Every structure is written in C-alpha cells, then in structure tokens.
Structure 1
Amino acid sequence: MRLAIEQKELVHHIQHLVGIISAKTTSPILTNYLIEANADKGEVKITASDLELTVDVRFNAAVSEGGTIAVSAKHFNEIIQQMPPTVIDLWKTEDLLMIQCAKIDFNILCADHTLFPILPEPKLENATIVNAETFNRMISKTSFAVSTDVNRAVLTGVCWKIMEKTNLMAATDGRKVAEIIVPNTAREKQEKAEGEESVFQYAPSEQLLEKVIPVKTLNFLQKVFDSSIKEMKVLMERNKIIFSYGAFTIVSNILEHKYPEYQKAFMADLPNQIVVEKKKLQESIRRVALVAPEDNNRIRFEIDSERFEINTSDRDTGDAKEFVEDFKFTGSETSISFNFRYMLSILDAIDTDMVCIKLGGSREPMMVYNEPLHENQKITFLLMPLRS
C-alpha cells in the first residue's frame, strides 16, 4: 500500500472518526482503523468500529499501490494532526506503516487486518432520502435528554417515530423529556406551504416505524453535519439503521426495547405561565446555583404576579436568592424545586430569545416551550420537580 494526500484533507476526514473507538473494548483489534487503499479508483476507505457502531469514510487520494492495513486509531490521528499542512506520504513495509511529511518520519506497527470485523456493503437503493438539516435539528433538540444509566438501556437512546404525516424524535431519562415533531412524507411535502420544513424529501406514506437509536450514533452524525450537504440516506433494517451522509457510511445497532410512554407525563392544562428572557433566566440560575446542594443540584422558583424569585439553600455552603425582573406571569402564586442542571440543558435547547414555562403546583412538572412557538414544528420540554 502506498498513497499521498494533503494533511488538511486527511484530518478533515478522520478528526471525528477516532470517537467511534471504545476505550473499554475487550477486542484489541477494535482499537485500530482498517485502512483500505484502491489504486484503480484512487480512493481510500478508513473504517472504525466498536461492533455496535461502525463508520467508514471514503475519499480520493493519490494511490500508487493498493492494499489493506490495520493501525492504531489513536496514534494515527495524533500523528496526522501534528503534521505540517503539506503532502503526507504513507506506505506499508512489512509490519510497519511509514508516515512521512516534509522532514518528519514515523514508523507505526500494524495489526493483523484480517481480524478486523467486516460488515457487508449496505444496499442503499431502497434508502429514504432525509433532509439533513432538519434531522440534525431534531437531534440537537432531544439528544441531551437521554439517560446515562446503562441499566435502563432503552433510555440511553433517542426514539425516532415515522408516522404517516409527522415525524417525531424524543428522549427522556425519567426526569426530563425533550420532544420534537415535524411534518414528513412526500405527499405532505407537496401540499405544504413554501418554506415549511419536512425531514423527508421522499418517503413512502405508509411507512410507520419506530426505532430507538443509540445517542452515540446521533452524536457522530451531528459532528459530521455539513450545511452544504442537504440530503442524507437512511436505510432501516430489523436490528440496524444505516446512514449515508457525504463521505460517511454509518451502520448502527438499534436498541430493541419498547420506548416508554413518556407523553403520559405531559400536562396541557397547567394553570400558571411565565414568559421571561431566556438569557437573563440562564444567568440568574447559574448565579444562584453557585451554592446549590451538590447531591441534588436543587434550586427553587417562587412566583406570583409581582415577584419571580430564584433561591437555594445548603446547610454546608449557605444560601442565595435573586429576583428576576421583566417577566410576564398569569395564574396564581406557586413554587417548585428542581435540578438546575436539567433546566439549563433545556434552556440551551430553546431557540427563541424568550422562553415560556407552564407550571402547576410543587409536585407537578414544568412544561417549557419556545416563545413564540415555531410555526411548523412542535417542540416540547418537560422537567420533573424535586420533592420538597
């Protein structure tokens, strides 16, 4: 194997690929990239896998001799990123990968590439074409709400429901919920007003599916999102989902569990509503939270028509309170305690300058919305209270 490529070009394609490699893998070969060079096509393919998620990237290079190697992903990325911005030459000699750039030389040990797990080439002829920008937006509005508890595996993923007229993505960890609903289907696209966003450029109208996608897969798609690449192909199989986007092909296992009916927690008739500037609210929460208890991150809203107070108290640290100005409140006096970190994560996902929070009593959830609401998308956030 022998090839030459510009350093910037190579970095562009591999900079996020190393994130696929698991630090806890029990299979040493999976700490490596599989690098395949094709002299006839002048193409290089680099694959990374943790068995649950496999990603390959393909790009053009000056390939004078084809071949296949497996080499440490960590060392390969670090070396390439530290090279000067000029042409890099790579070639294999016996069990070594030689990397040369300007007057810099590295000789890296190769692993046995035949041990690397190979997936069959996905057949994307029947793939659905997805609006990449809208899909990326759906991820950004939901992925932060997943659970990190591996004992509740289904909650570590994001639920994607494809229905006849709408397309839903949601995530929850049992304490907060994030949901976004957008229009879809080819028929919907033809009928919708100009400028209305639909995730599907083409999709069969009878396609009614639900898949729970690991958040690691969706986070990778966010990292490689490019606003100049408008479309993404998606192919759903029984236990896998395949994305083809730009130079990348992503093959991911799905979480084969029934997603919980989180919508039962949504409350449409909460009697109190406050509208406030998002940035001011974030700043106030962050200040008060400086002395919040570390065990539960508890802070408290106390609200009536004249007063919006944020406070906290910790017997080991002290207490703090701040009065928020310039808010609009309708309803009766109420208060609620909650985890400030969860609220800040929700506020980070709010698009608008103002935020609308609907609440009831101290034991009822808060519902959080953009203010004003998005015309063509329904975005809902829920935050459960902490018991007093």
Structure 2
Amino acid sequence: MAKSGPVAVRKPAARSVSLPSTQPSPKRLFHMKFIVSSSALLKQLQSINGVVTNNPVVPILENFLFEIEDGKLTITASDLETSMMTELPVEARESGRIAAPARILLDTLKNLPDQPVTFTLDEETYTIEIASSNGRYKLAGENATDFPRVPVVKGSAPVEIPSTSLARAINKTIFAVSTDELRPAMTGILVQLADNQVTFVATDGHRLLRYRRSDVGAGQTSNIIIPRKAFNLLKGALPSEATTVRMEFNSSNAFFSFNQMRLVCRLIDERYPDYENVIPVSNPNKLIISRQEILNSVKRISIYSNKTTHQVRLRLAGSELTVSAEDLDFSNEANEKLACQYDGEDMEIGFNAKFLQEMLSNIDSEEITLELSTPNRAGLLMPTLADDNESILMLVMPVMLNNYV
C-alpha cells in the first residue's frame, strides 16, 4: 500500500470566552446618614410619644417612622386611631425611610448630653446606628413599608383658632369626659361649630361642662366628637406662646396643624346626648361666694365624708353657707360656716365632693355663682365675672340626701 502523506489537521477557530471577573460587582448602597442635635430630636420625639401605646395591636406601632427628604426629618407616631407628625431640619444628603424603636431610642437620647449625633440607617437590614462623642449604639429597626399610612383629611373649609383659646377650651372640659366605653359618644369632647362661635362640651353623666367662645367663627355649622386621647395629646403639644391652630375635618377624621406639628384622629361616629335639655332653665336660688374659700372648705370637710358617696352638704340660709359631711360607719363628721351672698329660699343640697373640687379648681374668677332650683335637680356653677368672649357653664348632679325632709 502506498503511504499516505501527512494529514493537515485544521485547528478550530479561536473563540472568545468570557471568564468570571476577579473584580466584585458593584453593590447597591442601602445606607443613609443624617446629623441632628440630640436635644432637638429628643424634644420632638417626646412631643409625639404619647401616641405610642404598650402592647399595640400591630407590633410596628411600637416604633417611630423616620422619613428623610430634602434635609428634613419627618417623624410619625400612630396607634391606628390617632397619628401625630413632627419635623425638624437635619444634615442629610440622601432620602429614605425606616421605623425606629420608640422606647430604646428615647431612653438613649434622654441619657446623652446635648450634642450632634450621627444616625446611619441601613434600609436593607433595618439597622440603625447612632454615633455620639460618647460612643456608638446599634438598634434594630423595622421596614417602613409596614407602618400604617396616615389618612389625608380633605373636606371641610379650614377653621382657624388661637392656640391659647383651644388650650383653654380643652382644659375647661377634658376632666369631665366619661371613661365608660359602653357610652362611646361621651368618651370624647363634642365640638359644635357655628358661624360666629365654637362650643366644646364634655359630660360623664354626673357633671357637664360647656365652654363657648364667641370670638372664633367657623363660617359653617357642624358637630364632631373628638376622642379624649387626641385632645389630651393636642393639649400637651400646644406651645406656650400664641400661634394659630388650623383644623379640618371630614366624615371620619379631624386634622390639626400648627408650627411643625400635625395631628390626625378618627372621629367618634356616635350621636352625642342632647345636653341642652339637661340644663335647668329656671334656677331662682343664687349663691355668690369666694371661690377659694368654698374650695378650701370642701377639701377639708370631704375628709370626713362617706368614702363611697363622697357626699358633702351645702345648707343655705340667709347670708350663711354651712358645709358639712358625715360618715356614719366610722362616726366621723365635720361642718364649717362661710359668709356668702344668697338670694333664695333656705335649702340643703348634697354634692359629690370630688366633682365639686375639680369644677371649682377649673374656674379662674375670684367669685363663683351657684344657681339652684331644688335639692333633687342639677346645680349650675359658673364664674361670677367672665371674659366677654367666653362662656363657661358647669352642671353638677346632686347626691340625694338620705335624711332630707
């Protein structure tokens, strides 16, 4: 056989092969930083911390929501029924959101001296690191998307009221709000808006407070019931210096805003009792007396009252008022006589000493007027001299006298 010549072997064309890069792929950064004064942040957190409840229905509500945008930190606290928001400027380049644990954050800031602190937030692991001149503190936050959305309130025309007038209205009524959850309408304060006045009403069934201002016009007529907690929070947040509070509401929520603070609360969707029918119209017996004298007397005499009824008796005759109490179970009794101005028939009436003390403590004038009709009908307590722009009426139901003849 003939030998064959050498066979030419064709080499395959070279192909480019992509080998794994030895350089790490760029990783997206989830960190954001901001610098803020520790005392300024603490002040803002404390102003809204009252919203945060222990053992909330949704665990995320144990946190503050931090939102950073355009060099401004907005902080939100919520319990689903009420939400409060405040804001303050910070040094920040990035924007972002995270939920920060309220209790540990507050405790940390309370124990730090006033100084700039740096917050580093990791939106991927929800870790929060605080750096101060004293050291570093690491907290476990939560996903901001789990935090409930605050409702947007749009509906009514805005009502503007001076903060001092609103604070006074709340102070004059809130102590009489009912805590009975079986009567939900009475667990809030009724706000009656009219063209030329605003009225605040609170009652627990034993006493009733009506505070009315004629220097605030709403330009509309409407009745809404604000929950007690919302007004308590508002009262604590209102500044000592005068400012304007803007109020808006719709069928389900009310919105208050002033300075850097905002509050949104769910209205109590119930019918408020027709309180005007409870206020007696004809009260021929009128007592005028020093507020401080009768308050001090009631405080002393109530020590000797029955611990169940807390009853003190007022006996009116001529220009003399006798305040007395007794506790037959322990054979304790006491009485005092006070000078007064009284126009009416001689009579004796009993009241709950605790209610009387609270009402007298919430009147500013030097003298008070007590209007009465009969021992089994409500008495009306009011300042003898009042501001031209305000009207204060306090109604208290009597405690029946066992031995009244």
Written as runs of structure 1 = structure 2, the 5 A alignment for 1:117-128 is 117-122=148-153, 126-128=157-159
Select which of 182, 189, 206 maps to 1:158. Answer: 189
Q: Could you say which residue in structure 2 is the equivalent of 1:68?
A: 97
Match of 1:194 in 2: none
Q: Give 1:48's aligned amino acid.
A: A
Give the conservation status (yes or no) of the 8 Å contact 2:36–2:91. Answer: yes
The equivalent of 2:239 in structure 1 is 226
**1:49-198 map, 5 Å:** 49-93=78-122, 94-122=125-153, 126-183=157-214, 198=215
Structure 1 residues 232 and 363, CA gap change in structure 2 (3 angstroms):
same
Residue 239 of structure 1 and its aligned partner are, at CA, apart by: 0.8
Residues 264-306 of structure 1 deviation map (CA, whole Å, 9 limit, x = unaligned): 1212321222112112222111111223222222222122114
| Deviation, structure 1 residue 100 | 2.9
What's the CA shift string for 1:142-182, capped at 9, x where partnerless? 11111001111000000011122222111111110000122
- The structural deviation recorded for 1:227 is 3.9
SS at match of 1:233: strand
Unaligned runs of 5+ in 1: 184-197
Q: Could you say which residue in structure 2 is the equivalent of 1:193?
A: none
Shift of 1:382: 0.2
1:352 partner SS: coil
For residues 158 and 208 of structure 1, the distance between their equivalents in structure 2, rounded to whole angstroms, comes to 17
The one-character-per-residue Cα deviations of 1:196-235 (angstroms, maximum 9, x if unpaired) are: xx224xx4x3x11110110111111111111434211111
Out of 180, 200, 216, the position equivalent to 1:199 is 216
**Offset of 1:372 from its aligned partner?**
1.4
Aligned residue number for residue 245 of structure 1: 258
1:112–1:315 Cα change, 3 Å:
farther
String of CA shifts for 1:62-96, please: whole Å, max 9, x gaps: 22433211122122222212211222222224332
Higher fraction of helix = 1
CA RMSD of aligned residues (A): 1.9
Q: Distance in 2 between matches of 1:339 and 1:31?
A: 40
| Structure 2 partner of 1:192 | none
AA of the residue aligned to 2:393: T
Taking the aligned partners of 2:76 and 2:113, their CA distance within structure 1 comes to 24
Counterparts of 2:332 and 2:322, CA distance in 1: 13
- How many residues are aligned here? 368
Cα distance in 2 for partners of 1:23, 1:297 equals 33
Following superposition, the deviation at residue 341 of structure 1 comes to 1.2
Q: Does 1:311 align with 2:340?
A: no
Aligned to 2:12: none
Instruction: Give the equivalent residue in structure 2 for 1:186.
Output: none
- Of residues 294, 314, 322, the one that matches 2:307 is 294
- Cα gap change, 1:320/1:143 in structure 2, threshold over 3 Å: closer, same or farther? same
SS of residue paired to 2:182: helix
Match of 2:352 among 332, 339, 343: 339
* Alignment match, 1:187: none
Detail structure 1 runs of 4+ shifted over 6 Å in the superposition: none
Structure of larger gyration radius: 2
Does structure 2 retain, via aligned residues, the 8 Å contact 1:299–1:310? yes
Q: Which one of the candidate residues 33, 39, 46 is aligned to 2:75?
A: 46
2:108 partner letter: I
> Paired residue for 1:281, among 281, 285, 294?
294
Compared with structure 1, are the counterparts of its residues 90 and 150 closer, same or farther at alpha carbon in structure 2 (3 Å cutoff)?
A: same
